[in-house]
Every structure is written in C-alpha cells, then in structure tokens.
Structure 1
Amino acid sequence: MSLRPTLDFLLYDWLKVGQLGERSRFSDHSRETFDAVLDTCERIAREKYAPFNRLVDTEEPRFDGEKVILPQATHDAWEAYAGSGMLGAAQDYAIGGMQLPYTVEAAANTFFTVASASIGGGLLTVGNANLLLAHGTELQKKVFALNEFSGRWAGTMCLSEPQAGSSLSDVATRATPDGADFESDPFGPRYRLKGNKMWISAGEHELTENIVHLVLAKIPGPDGKLVPGTKGISLFVVPKKMADAEGRLTGERNDIALAGLNHKLGWRGTTNTLLNFGEGKYPVRGAPGAIGYLVGKPGEGLRCMFHMMNEARISIGLAATALGLAGYYASLDYAKNRPQGRPAGPSGKDASQPQVRIIEHADVKRMLLAQKSYCEGALALLLNCARLVDEQHTGTPEAAEEARLLLEVLMPVAKSWPSEFCLEANSLAIQIHGGYGYTRDFPVEQYWRDNRLNMIHEGTHGIQAADLLGRKVVMEGGKGLTLLAGRINATVERAFKRGDLAEYGNALAQALQKVGAGTRAAWSTNQPGDALANAVPYMQAFGHLVIAWTWLDVLQSVPPTGGTPADEGRRRAARYFFHYELPKIGAWLRVVETRDRTCADTPEEAF
C-alpha cells in the first residue's frame, strides 16, 4: 500500500492546496509543480532510504577517536536529499529557495520518514536556519542560514544539559564576552561558551563540511553570577569550524568536543551526542572556550529558540504519524497473506476446511481499523496545521490572526497525540504479526522502537499537556479555544446537512460540550495545581476531540456511498473512531472535572 494516494486526497480534495497557486507568493506553482516535488521525494525515499532502513539500524554510528563513522548509505541519502532542494523548499527565490507552500513541503517530507526515520532528514537544519532568518544578523543569515539551506552545512539545537533535562531554567552553560572588541565582531557580539549539552541529534558527523550549533547559555551578571530562571538565558550560534564573512572555512576548529554517543532504543542510524563546549580539547584563537555569536538580544534566548521548537513540533508529529503508517502498511500486507485459523460456524470450527487469511478475523480488522483511524486522522490534522502555517504567512490579516490562534491551541496536540496513538498503532502492528512481530525478521519492531522517542523529544508528553491546559486554552482570555470551538461547530452544522453524517455530528457536538465543561471545571478553583494534576488525561480527551473533528471534516470530501475503495476505507476508519475511540473521553475528563488528587497527593513513601 502506498502513502501517495492518501496524500493526494488530503492535499487536493480536502485542503484544496492547489488554490494556493492563486496567491502571489506561490503564483509560479500549480498542482503540476506540487506533484513534481512529491514525485521526486517519493523516488528518493524509495531508492535511497527504504532499502537501507535495516542497515542503519544495525550499523550504528561509531566514534574512532577523531570522527563519527556512518554507513555510506547515510551519506548517499543526505546527498540526494540536499540535492533535491528540499532544505530550502519553502524559502524565497532570492536565497535559492523554491517558494513552495509549507503544506507541500511537510507532505513531501513524510515520504522519507515512512521509508526510514532512522536515516533522518533536514528537520533540525531547516529549523535552525529558519530561526536565524527570523532572529539573526544579516551576516549570520548570509553565512550560516544560507549554507544550511544549500546542504553545505548542517544545523542542530543544543538545549538540554545532563543535570537539567527538560528544565531549561536550570541551564548552567556560561557565555562570557570574548575580549574588549567582542561587540564589534562582524558576526555579532562574540562570546566564549563553557558547558555541556546532552541529547544533541546530529551533533557530530561528516555528512557536511560544517555543523552550526544553536546553543542556550547564560551570560553572567556584573557580580559574575548567573541569573536564575529562564530570564537569563541567551542564544548563540556556535559553529563546529570557524568561517569568515564569505562563508569560507578558516581551518580553525572551534572548542567543541564529542564527549560520547548516546545508544538509543530507536533512531539508531541518527547520531545523538553529548557535547562539551569549551573544555579545551580544541583551543581556538589562543584562549579557552568555544566561540559563539549572540543571536537576538541578551536574555531572549528562549523566545528565539521557541521559533524553532514550534516548527519542529509539527515535524515531530509528522514523524510519529509516518512511522505509524509504515507499521500499518506492513501489518496490512502481512494480514492479507498470512493464513491462520478457521471461521467459527454453528458447530464450531471445521478443521477439515482450509485456513483463512488473518485479515478475515474480526479482531485483526479491529486492529487494522484502529491503526488506520489513528494514523490517517493524525496525518490529516498535521497537514491542516501546515496549511494554517501557510495561512498565517500569506492569508489576509484576519485569516492570518485566526491561523495564529488556532495553531497556538493545536500545537501541543499536533506534537503529542500522534506520538502517543501512532505508537499504539505500531504496537498493534506487532500484535498482528504475532510472535514474528517481536523478531527482527520483520520491520514492525523497529518502527515501534523508532517511534517511542517521539513522546519524549521536542517537549515531552507531560510538558505538552501542561502547556495545553495550563496556558494555551486560557491564553488571551481563551480566544484560541473559542475559535477552535467555532470551527468544530461549523463542521457539525455542515454534517447535519448530510444524513449519513448526522450521527457523527451529534457525537462531536456532545464531545465538545464535555471538553468545554472539563476545561471550566479544571480551572474553577483558579489553582494551577488543581488544574494541572490531570493535564495528561485532559490532553488525551482534547486530542480525541480534535481527531474526531478532523475525521468528520474529511468525510465531507468523501461521497456518502460508493466511490473508490479508498473512500470506503475512510468511511470505515471514521466510523471506528467515533464508535470505539471518541466515547473514551468521558473517563479521561471525569478525573479532570473532579480535580482528582489521587496522583498529586500520593506520598513518596507509598511507592
């Protein structure tokens, strides 16, 4: 089974992406050019990624004391990806981009993750470069961002530290002014950084001639002490190798040392590192400390970094979805070809009859429908979020503001819901394979391992849940939540006009009322501790509401009856979600509405 027909339906029949060609930014484009991009990415994924997915899982990156060694297949895949122009797909023509809609870029990148998430792509490099375009100096943009978009250099983001994890307020990396002329450096104020950063994806490799690190660090105050909390955090661009104002490498290596490779459950083909900044292994320009250049203003590092993180969260949601889809396609193929068991008749099973394929068993169909409803529902949600990004950048002022508000509310769901429920889809794919699914003879165990990371990075599931309930649904007086409710109600009203969808419209309207009541009850005491004690169940209920809304909206682009087998598949997947999944929100919201303190009040000794 192929991803392409599903993408075509969602992009053109549902989201009407072809109409974006009517906007001035995309006026050179049409469905023909969009299809050409999709064709190219599908081909590269098929030829350079998919055949090597198992290879890069078993031949992990290794450090020989001087450099990180990766399989040749990873080098070939990167060269093909960078050569396709996808790193700068959405950028201006003036800097070598294609000015594609972000929706098309996001859809095209899905092919690579379905083929091999472990090889990796340009997620961090593109995010790094986009951040510099938004907050960097003109020379930072010219030298660092443009070389990243071209694929000549790669990029990372360095946030977490071994002692701090997700608690960015506890960042201890220091940045001190480098000499009397530090403010006159052409790249911006120049600092020396000392500290350690953990979990840095693609932090060391030989795929590109340089690596551009974006590093969070604190500038000491006049008394030499670090400002506590997040207010003192600044952002720095710290290249692995030093370059001049024309982007030529000077031959100097910056004081950044690989302290070790992290050995992961999944994504084993992607380098993940612990980096030491300023330990003195590679002293540069006669002084200790890694040279870094301030990005933006001092103390505004998190504000700048969140520009990259929010963008990354759509990509993480898409990665989780793509891995879920890969497992679904594999288990569907297996179920169609694996004979086992016999149907039960009035007198029981007749052993003299031939075995049936397992797809003929109702419980296997249940597991396949669950995967399909999770993964295709998540794909639709994420492409809709990408479409909102395009609306924010190219729509009318009113439409852009509505897109901004909707994205604020949907972003935690877009990252976390797929990472939880598409992981469950991978688990079901293993179950369909039975004992074989637990072996390395089939790919579904690797898909599960690769997907397990997505609940953790770019903001853990719990952090996203706290962000949703603690900030996003109440920010600006609840404007985003009110706007989302209005969009859901509009979908419900349209559903009532089609008899085949009225049942779903009623169910969705009731679910919306329950989530609204749960939100109000959670905050009824105005105590964050009461509300956030059950933020994750709230997230699960909210996410199910959003996916049900997405499915109902998608169904309005599907004929009531007949059509293609794919149309029937969408009708069945939506029916499964409304009958089997949406009713679960009652149990999740019950603990939210009562502000249940079972978890929050359990003493440590009870464990």
Structure 2
Amino acid sequence: MPMRKTLDFLLTDWLHAQDLTQRPRFAEHSAETFSAVLDTCEKIAAEKFAPFNRLSDTQEPQFDGERVHLPEPTRVAVQAYAESGMLAAAQDFEAGGMQLPCVIEMAANAFFSKASVAMGAYAMLTSGNAGLLMAHGTPLQREVFAKTEFSGRWFGTMCLSEPQAGSSLSDILTRATPDGEGFAADPLGARYRLRGNKMWISAGEHELSENIVHLVLAKIPDEQGRLTPGARGISLFIVPKHLVDTQAQLTGERNDVALAGLNHKLGFRGTSNCLLNFGEGKFTPGGQSGAIGYLVGQPGEGLKCMFHMMNEARIGVGLGAVMLGFAGYEASLDYARQRPQGRPMGVAGKDPSQPQRPIIEHADVKRMLLAQKSYVEGGLALALYCAHLIDEQHTGTPEAAQAAGQLLEVLIPVVKSWPSEWCVEANSLAIQVLGGYGYTRDFPVEQYWRDNRLNMIHEGTHGIQGLDLLGRKVVMNGGQALQALAGRMQATVARALEDESLAGLGRALAAALAEVGSATQKAWSTGEPEATLANATPYLQAFGHLVLAWLWLDVANSLGARSDDFAQGKRAAARYFFAYELPKIGAWLAVVARREPLCREMQADWF
C-alpha cells in the first residue's frame, strides 16, 4: 500500500534520518534498527489494532455505575504495544527506553494511528504523561510513576479542561490545599488535597491497567482562600486513581477520584472520555475527602511543565489526523480501482454493450484521489519534518538547534491545524469516491471521517492556533522565526529553478511567499491586535498552504531524475497542490491584508 513506501522515502531519501546515527545519542542505532522498529510496529498495528477498529467504535465504553467496560481486544492491543517497548521509545537506555529519535518514534506510532487511533490513544497519552514526569518530576516521582507507566503496568492521562473552562485554562477552579502540617514531607512530593471537576478527560477511567496516573492542573489558594487569577497560579499535580507507596506498589486505598459520567462522542469512540470529580467524597483516603495529589515542579509552574510536551503532542495530533486521512485515501483508492461504472465520453461511451470501466479512469475521481494524495502525503511530510526538527533541537549543533527552535515556533500551529482540517477533507472526499456506499457502515471511510473530526478541536482549536501564529509566532523577536522559514523556502526555490520541470512551481512558491509576507505586514500596520487578529484563521489557512506547497516542492526536488510510477505520482501530487490549492491563499490573505472588520463588528443580536 502507498503509506509504507512513502514513509520510507520521506525518512530515508528526503530527511536522511539515518544520518542521525552519527550523533552520540543515537550511535547504538542504524538504518536497520530503525527499519526493524517500523516493521514491528506495522505488524502489531495490523494484527492487534486494525481488525478491531470497527469493534471499538460500535462497542464504545460503557459505565455500569461502578466500572467502565471496554472490548477485550482493546486490552490485548494496548498490552502488545506496551510489550513492544514503544511506551518508552525515545527515553534513555537507563530508563528502560530505546533512545529512538523523535522522527522515528513518530513514524512508528503512525501505524497505530492509522490502524485504530482510538485504541492507540491509551498508550500515546501514557507515554506523554510519563515523558513529562521524566522532565519535571523528582527522582522518586520518575522512578515510581514515570517508569511504571513506561512498563505498561500503569497508564496515564492529562487533566486540563473543566466544564466551565475549556481552552481558557486561566479560568480553572480546581483547587489544591496542603494536606495537613506535614504535607511537604511526603517522599512522593508535597502532598495536597484536590477538589474540583475535570471535563473531556480521554482515558480517564478504564481497567486496562493496574492504575491510572492523572496529571491535574489546579490552583493553590492563598491564606485567605483566594485563587490567583489568570494562568500564574496554576500548578501541576500527580493524582493516582489508587494510592501507591515508594516502591510503586498499590496501598489498597482508593483515591478520591470518581467518574461522574462518560461523554458520548461523534467519533473516537474507542477511547473513554470522562467527566472526573476530584474530592467529592465518594472515596476518603486517609479518612477524609479530597483527592491526594503530589506537586510536580514548583507552585505556579503547572503550565510551564505542561507546555514542555506540547510541541510533540501537537505534532502527534497532526500526525494522527494525517494517518486517518491516509486510511481513507487507501480505502477509496482500492475501491476506485475495482468499482466499474460508466464508459468513456463520446459516441462509443453510449453503447451499453461495451464494458464499463473502473471509476478511477474518470477525471473527477482522479481529481478527488489526487486531492487526498496531496493532503495526506504532504501532511505526512509536514509531521515528519517537524519531528526531525525536535531531534535537531535536542541533539544538533548549537547553531542547528537554534535554527530548529525558530522553525518550530512558526510550524507548530501549522502541524497541528493544517492536517486536522485538510485530512478531514480527505476523509470527506474518500466518502464521495465511494458514493452511497461510503455513507454506510459497511465501509470504514465514514468512521475515519468521524474519528478525524475531533482533531480540529483538541490540543488547541483552529482559532487558537491562528491567534498563536499571527499574534505571536510570526512577529516575535522582530519576525526572526518567519525569516528563518522564508530562508528555507528560498533555498528550495533556488534548487527548483535549476530544474526546468520544477522551475514554474518554484516561481509560484516565491510569489506566494511574498504574498504572505506582504499580508503579514499589512495586518500589523496599524498595531491594533483586535483588528489584526479578527482574521487570524484565514491567515493560518493561507500560511499552512504556503508551508505545504514548500514541502511538496522540496519533496519533488529530492526525487531527482527518478521516472518510476512512485516518483511520477509524487510529482503529480505536487503539481495538483500548486494548481488547485495554492491559488486559494489569495482569497484568505485578502481579508487579512485589509483587516476586514466584518467578523469583529458583527453584533450578536444580528444573528
């Protein structure tokens, strides 16, 4: 199928990921070990995840008042993932990890997102949770919580949002008060009692593992019991479902964390999604109410700790969206090759005695398949490129690390949002290719669309990513990050201009880059954030399309003189993106450049 061949090409021929083995951190690896990891994950995903993706959707989690029930294949699948060692893939050897580069870890996890993104979420959340604790936890917190999660004995969650505060974390009300006089003496960390409610908590309750380790954002009140307004007062706490000792053994006491109910979702149904009550008194650890939590880092540094893993989390969301798009693309491509319908145009095509031809021969079906190909393969290139920048940031020379950090500043909002929008569109086109069959549950493409629709919402909505990009990233430090990205694009253009077959695309990219730069300057020309940022989302869409056009041209450059079907397909997808997609940026940028006031001035009563 197209995905593995494309993945190998992007890693080896485009990004040259094998060169990372020349660095001390990855010196124990080789191109062969990287390939072996991909092979193993591809096999586990195909055997343990993919066959049960539909089951996880139709038999969504059920709460009987005491327990959350999941299909047995989900437990088998996540345990197979844990046994593969992938939970600690990027961690140090001393921590039981494999010291894999981020780009290889992301590529390997792509197979699970494609096979069953909902079943795979339990493991992905656990890995992120434990990785945060390895970075910000105390030595004992790392030993007891993080390493036990990496082993697969315990799983983890992130508890950020609240019913009244979704994306606005500064408005959270969950409070944490010191647990008695000796609260600071607990070896697991300063001990607090948490009381509050958390909403939209993926994997918040299940019985797939011995314990669930919640990472919870809460505020510590002052001596008068007041919560610090804004984000400054937010702290981070480890709140285990079952209390544990310093040897990572359960004490037998249940913490005061209770499931209030499950959210029933459009898609992504195989992952339990919960409203959790902390400190409601259903359980009374130590004879009193209040969920026991252990402080991570310093008071007031909760968001700082949480944002440590945000770049990789947002790359992961974007990659997950890509892989759902890829799954739909492959399904619709296979269907189009086999489904006979219609005949060629002209007189001969009206003869019913002539055989019908596969729908893949029709121009409009080719258009829909080309669109999907350009979205999903371009999105895969984007996610892998950003993961490779993470490796540069952590293991490159000081100059390379600084450059990678600058590029990540402007690309993180794009890698999260662009695949989340356009790979959902790919799923919609996959349904269209199948026609009426695509709208039924007899084929998987409708589930891919439903599962993928979540990615435009979580880890920061489109609107938030647009505000981040236009409001912060492109203007910070005098626009240095934007200039760094423009430099990479100009280098790609220069290379393309040396190839007659790509020179036209190179000139188009240069013009688009200039158009985005001009719109950015005009948007900020008055220095009024409210006027500028009213059109941040169209700016994000245009910027994302510019980035994808650049990556497609860079990929086309790397094909060299190859003329096989694989290379011709890549060139056709690049041409499609430049012919059908890149011209859209003009309309998006027009409202940005003139600071179109309509959406800002629209009155609520007018609706």
TM-score range, shorter chain: over 0.9
- Counterpart of 1:91 in structure 2 is 91
What pairs up with 1:257-296 in 2 under 5 angstroms? 257-296=258-297
Q: CA deviation at 1:309?
A: 2.5
- Counterpart of 1:506 in structure 2 is 507
Moved over 4 A (4+): none
CA deviation vs aligned residue, 1:207-257 (integer Å, no higher than 9, x gap): 111111111111111211111111111111111111111111111111000
Distance 2:503 2:580 in 1: 17
- Counterpart of 1:325 in structure 2 is 326
Checking the alignment, whether the CA contact within 8 Å between 1:21 and 1:27 is kept in structure 2 is yes
CA deviation vs aligned residue, 1:143-174 (integer Å, no higher than 9, x gap): 11111111111111001001111111110001
- Counterpart of 2:155 in structure 1 is 154
Checking the alignment, whether the CA contact within 8 Å between 1:500 and 1:560 is kept in structure 2 is no
Distance 2:512 2:352 in 1: 46
Q: What residue identity is the alignment partner of 1:531?
A: T
1:466 counterpart = 2:453: no
- Counterpart of 2:203 in structure 1 is 202
What pairs up with 1:152-191 in 2 under 5 angstroms? 152-191=153-192
Distance 1:395 1:471 in 2: 26
Q: What residue identity is the alignment partner of 2:28?
A: D
1:16 counterpart = 2:35: no
What pairs up with 1:430-441 in 2 under 5 angstroms? 430-441=431-442
Q: CA deviation at 1:392?
A: 0.6
1:382 counterpart = 2:396: no
Q: CA deviation at 1:342?
A: 1.3
Q: CA deviation at 1:117?
A: 1.2
Distance 1:352 1:525 in 2: 68
What pairs up with 1:72-471 in 2 under 5 angstroms? 72-121=72-121, 122-345=123-346, 349-471=350-472
Checking the alignment, whether the CA contact within 8 Å between 1:123 and 1:312 is kept in structure 2 is no
Q: CA deviation at 1:139?
A: 1.0
- Counterpart of 1:586 in structure 2 is 586
Q: What residue identity is the alignment partner of 2:166?
A: G
Distance 2:561 2:575 in 1: 13
Q: CA deviation at 1:197?
A: 0.2
Q: CA deviation at 1:477?
A: 1.7
Task: Tell me the percent identity.
Answer: 69
Q: What residue identity is the alignment partner of 1:585?
A: I
Q: What residue identity is the alignment partner of 1:344?
A: M
- Counterpart of 2:547 in structure 1 is 546
Checking the alignment, whether the CA contact within 8 Å between 1:103 and 1:383 is kept in structure 2 is yes
Q: What residue identity is the alignment partner of 2:345?
A: A
In structure 1, runs of 5+ residues without a counterpart are none
Partner-residue secondary structure (3-state), 2:43:
helix
Distance 1:310 1:288 in 2: 36
Q: CA deviation at 1:559?
A: 3.0
Q: What residue identity is the alignment partner of 1:301?
A: G
Q: CA deviation at 1:348?
A: 6.5
Checking the alignment, whether the CA contact within 8 Å between 1:143 and 1:247 is kept in structure 2 is yes
Q: What residue identity is the alignment partner of 1:352?
A: S
Q: What residue identity is the alignment partner of 1:325?
A: F
Partner-residue secondary structure (3-state), 2:466:
helix
Distance 2:218 2:562 in 1: 59
Q: What residue identity is the alignment partner of 2:203?
A: A
Q: What residue identity is the alignment partner of 1:102?
A: C
Distance 1:457 1:350 in 2: 52
- Counterpart of 1:535 in structure 2 is 536
Q: What residue identity is the alignment partner of 1:533?
A: A
Partner-residue secondary structure (3-state), 1:463:
helix
Q: CA deviation at 1:308?
A: 2.5
After alignment, is 225-234 or 270-279 more displaced?
225-234
Checking the alignment, whether the CA contact within 8 Å between 1:331 and 1:432 is kept in structure 2 is yes
Q: CA deviation at 1:97?
A: 0.5
Q: What residue identity is the alignment partner of 1:593?
A: A
Q: How many aligned residue pairs are there?
A: 606
- Counterpart of 1:61 in structure 2 is 61
- Counterpart of 1:34 in structure 2 is 34
Q: CA deviation at 1:2?
A: 4.2
Q: What residue identity is the alignment partner of 2:171?
A: D
Q: What residue identity is the alignment partner of 1:519?
A: T
